[in-house]
């Protein structure tokens, strides 16, 4: 599904050029960040002209927003298997973690953190989060874990976002598994290790 583009003026737009521009924009932002990415570099990478970009997008931010949205729309996680709630949650979260850590989307999104007040970028991120939350709701709905469902989702997605997007570090599958079991209340938290060498402790 292509991102919405402004109406063309003149001859019809070539979808192949549009796809090349979206792909080039995602690569440039992933490698250089939003601020250092330029329209000229995106056009060169897509083997087209700046005029081709401005026929489709008003500016760099609109192009980057469209590129991110298109990349997420093409990255659809597998549907829940309904084997168990914990297994379905783990499948979803491992998919999201791999998407953000092993593809261009992770560094591209990290570069947008300082620009989180830009409304066009926020709209894209909101849509992405909404789709992720919908998938997790489908796992939790009509199960014993439906109560406090939004809070459970906050905690699970928050782990992914904090580790990968804010800290830039990978998250292991066993970390995801333990977080799921803690959020579902299937295991008790570990007892904290007492500090050593402190009087009275």
Answer yes or no: CATH 1.10.10.60 is held by domain 15-72: yes
CA distance 122 to 120: 5
CA distance 110 to 48: 27
Closest CA to 145 of 196, 101, 186: 186
Q: Which CATH number, 1.10.357.10, 3.90.180.10, 3.90.380.10, 3.30.70.260, labels domain 77-184?
A: 1.10.357.10
Question: What number of CA atoms fall less than 13 Å from residue 199's CA on the CB side?
Answer: 0
Q: What percent of the chain has pLDDT over 70?
A: 87
CA distance 27 to 108: 8
Convert 35-67 to b/e letters by CB count within 10 Å (16 or more is b).
eebebebbbebbebeeebbebbbeebbbbbbbb
Q: According to the model, what pLDDT value does residue 81 have?
A: 83
Domain ranges of the chain: 15-72, 77-184
CA distance 48 to 95: 33
pLDDT tens digits, 111-165: 988 888 899 999 988 998 999 999 999 999 999 999 999 999 999 999 999 999 8
Q: What is the pTM of this model?
A: 0.81
pLDDT tens digits, 68-116: 999 998 988 888 888 899 999 999 999 999 999 999 999 999 998 888 8
Secondary structure (3-state) at 149: helix
Please report the DSSP string for 97-126 in residue order: HHHHHHSTHHHHHHTTGGGTT-HHHHHHHH
């Amino acid at each position: 599904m292509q991102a919405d583009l402004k109406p063309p003026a003149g001859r019809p737009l070539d979808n192949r050029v549009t796809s090349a521009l979206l792909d080039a924009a995602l690569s440039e932002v992933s490698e250089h960040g939003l601020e250092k990415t330029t329209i000229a570099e995106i056009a060169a990478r897509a083997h087209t002209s700046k005029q081709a970009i401005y026929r489709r997008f008003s500016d760099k931010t609109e192009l980057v927003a469209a590129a991110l949205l298109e990349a997420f729309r093409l990255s659809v996680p597998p549907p829940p298997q309904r084997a168990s709630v914990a297994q379905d949650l783990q499948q979803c979260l491992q998919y999201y973690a791999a998407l953000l850590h092993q593809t261009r989307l992770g560094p591209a999104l990290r570069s947008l953190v300082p620009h989180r007040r830009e409304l066009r970028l926020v709209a894209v991120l909101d849509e992405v989060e909404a789709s992720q939350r919908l998938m997790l709701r489908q796992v939790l709905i009509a199960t014993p874990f439906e109560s406090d469902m939004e809070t459970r989702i906050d905690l699970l997605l928050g782990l992914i976002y904090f580790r990968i997007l804010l800290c830039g570090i990978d998250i292991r599958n066993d970390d995801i598994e333990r977080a799921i079991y803690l959020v579902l209340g299937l295991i008790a938290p570990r007892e904290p290790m007492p500090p050593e060498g402190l009087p009275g402790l």
